[in-house]
Amino acid sequence: MGFTMGLNLVLLMAMVATNILSLYHLSKNVQSPRAPTPQPVPDHLLNQLRTIRSTINHLTRLQPPSPPSSASAAANPAPTIPSDLLLHSQLSPIASACHGYPDLLHRFMNYTPFSLCPHDPDLAEALILRGCHPLPRRRCFSRTPPKTTSASLPHNPFPPALPDSNVIWAKYSCKSFSCLNHYNPNLGFDTSHEYSKFTTYRSELDLPVSQLLQIAKSAGSVLRLGIDIGGGTGSFAATMKMQNVTVVTTTMNLGAPYNEAAALRGLVPLHVPLQQRLPVFDGVVDLVRCGHAVNRWIPETVLEFMLFDIDRVLRGGGYLWLDHFFGKGVSMEKVYKPLIGKLGYKKVKWATANKTDSSGLKNGEVYLTALLQKPVTK
């Protein structure tokens, strides 16, 4: 029982942290909470962020190494830069945020070239979440699971079960997909559970895919390409694939193998954090969906940049779908509605409702599901 609750908590924290950890690291407000800033971060939020960061540090086993004794510090005044890092940085630039975390960067690039890479996906994500993206390349062989199946990989994005043998489970407390499903069926690894997620209408906050396609069709707009931001195991992309629509999913791996799961379903997982500029050209996609990974945890200005980046990648007449966005009741009217309004999109659907889970009731949160259409010309 203790283990179940502990694991659920860690997985929950990981999901929340996926949303905001990266932003936390980049936020000046957070680094100097006492300094006068235009938008001070409330104390309770800082406390929650600190808790999440320490959970994630624990989860990814990336607590800073214990400080060296004064004797060894004197003996090693500067860390030696790994030779492959020196070589790579002469060939191609490394994202400047990487240099802010030399200890992590050095650990990442400290490997034996042309041999097997260290198994360090946690380290890679820790760097990515701190803004070090793209990561420098390495000249080593990434590890593969010991007994992969390839002949039996499913073409169906909703297979009865995902093959456990295609994942390296070493970093996770669970060692199988059924274990993940057992402890929390809502993470997205139970494909039978996922099947109905985007096809059923339970409340006005839902927008079943059949309705979405109908809306686009009656507006004379075709949906062929989309991006699902923070899309977990790719269930939205899976549902759209059944309709012959190609959707790529941005997803991170905190606490569970979300990227592998999406790929095992035959869907493209883009390993990019929320604060990353979307890796596609301007005006090329028909649809962007933001699941509830995009919510009030994201500082307002960061959210504004995100919305304008979404606008950049959408073609004229394309759709932005905010699916179960949540914020405080007062902010929804005062902050988010005007913020979203800056895009000047047509409101095709706009539904709000009280968020009635315990944290929603405690914080007076409301959900917003909105379907917005980008004007054809600006």
Q: Which of 148/356 has CB closer to ligand NAG?
A: 356
Residue 214 lies near ligand NAG (rule: CB under 6 A): no
CB nearer to ligand NAG: give 162 or 207: 207
Alpha carbon 30 to its chain's center: 20
Interface residue with ligand NAG, options 6, 344, 364, 375 (CB under 6 A): 364
Candidate residues 244, 281, 357, 378; the one interacting with ligand NAG per rule CB under 6 A: 244
C-alpha atoms less than 13 angstroms from C-alpha of 355 in its C-beta half-sphere: 23
Tell which one of 196, 243, 301, 359 touches ligand NAG (CB under 6 A). 243
Out of 83, 156, 354, 359, name the contact with ligand NAG by CB under 6 A.
354
Residue placing its CB nearer to ligand NAG in the complex, 44 or 362: 362
13 phi, psi to nearest 5 deg: -60, -40
Question: Is the preceding omega at residue 40 within 30 degrees of 0, hence cis?
Answer: no
Cα 164 off chain centre by: 22
**Those residues with Cβ within 8 angstroms of residue 106's Cβ, 6 or more apart along the chain or in another chain:** 79, 81, 82, 85
The C-alpha atoms of residue 53 and residue 81 are separated, in whole angstroms, by 27
Q: Between residues 233 and 239, which has the closer beta carbon with respect to ligand NAG?
A: 239
Closest distance to ligand NAG from the beta carbon of 213 (Å) = 9
Please list every residue from 284 through 343 that binds ligand NAG, using CB under 6 A: 329
For residue 176, the 8-state DSSP code is: S
Tokens of 120: 């360090």
Q: Quick one: 283 or 364, whose CB is closer to ligand NAG?
A: 364
Shortest CA distance to 283 belongs to which of 244, 317, 314, 237? 314
Residues touching ligand NAG: how many (CB under 6 A)?
5
* Token digits of residue 177: 């997909």
CB of 354 to ligand NAG, least distance (A): 4
Strand partners, 269: 249
Judged by beta carbon, residue 109 or residue 240, the one nearer ligand NAG is: 240
Quote the CA–CA distance of 347 and 248 in Å, as a whole number: 24
By CB under 6 A, name the binding residues for ligand NAG.
Answer: 243-244, 329, 354, 364
